[in-house]
């Protein structure tokens, strides 16, 4: 028994260190940090309380975008409402929405998998991504909010 005691202590110490290392590394490997930078930059965009008429005056819609997702067996049909920070930025948005904005949306959807768009978190992440992409395109004003007004994912 005296010869086995140092071995038992060494084995227990080794197991304890392995479990401790696994626990510390688990947070690093399995953390969900895929959208934090996107969500952080979207939260920095200021939103103020607006009346219904002001919201309508600063909101533009793109309807019936139909495209394939990253998985070629799935297609999506989606409508968006874009709220901008001023009426002048809405005018600019209206001018370029068919030639600049719609292709950006199609590219963003082409990278998305159907599983990524499930649930509110997936839809919010897509909207956050679109806010960042579209704000890089706009020269006058900023996009403050993107909402999905219709959303259907189906297999081919």
The confidence score (pLDDT) of residue 82 equals: 93
Q: Is the pLDDT of residue 8 over 80?
A: yes
**Distance between CA 148 and CA 81 in Å, rounded?**
6
Q: Tell me the CATH number for domain 36-155.
A: 3.30.479.30
pLDDT band at residue 27 using 50, 70 and 90 as cut-offs? confident
Dump pLDDT digits (tens) for 121-149.
Answer: 889 999 999 999 998 888 888 889 999 99
The confidence score (pLDDT) of residue 66 equals: 93
CB 131, CB 145: distance < 8 Å: yes
Dump pLDDT digits (tens) for 52-110.
Answer: 888 888 899 999 999 999 988 999 999 999 999 888 888 989 999 899 999 999 999 99
Give the CA distances from residue 152 to residues 126, 128, 149, in Å, rounded to whole numbers and listed in that order.
14, 19, 11
């Amino acid at each position: 028994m005296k010869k086995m005691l140092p071995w038992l202590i060494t084995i227990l110490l080794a197991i304890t260190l392995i479990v401790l290392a696994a626990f510390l590394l688990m947070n690093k490997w399995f953390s969900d940090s895929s959208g934090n930078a996107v969500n952080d930059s979207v939260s920095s965009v200021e939103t103020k309380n607006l009346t219904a008429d002001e919201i309508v005056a600063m909101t533009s819609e793109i309807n019936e975008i139909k495209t394939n997702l990253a998985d070629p067996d799935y297609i999506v049909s989606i409508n968006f409402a874009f709220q901008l920070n001023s009426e002048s930025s809405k005018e600019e948005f209206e001018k370029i929405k068919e030639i600049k904005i719609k292709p950006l949306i199609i590219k963003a959807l082409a990278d998305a998998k159907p599983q990524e768009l499930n649930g509110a978190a997936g839809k919010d992440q897509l909207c956050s991504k679109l806010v960042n992409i579209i704000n890089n395109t706009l020269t006058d004003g900023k996009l403050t909010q993107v909402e999905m007004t219709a959303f259907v994912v189906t297999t081919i």
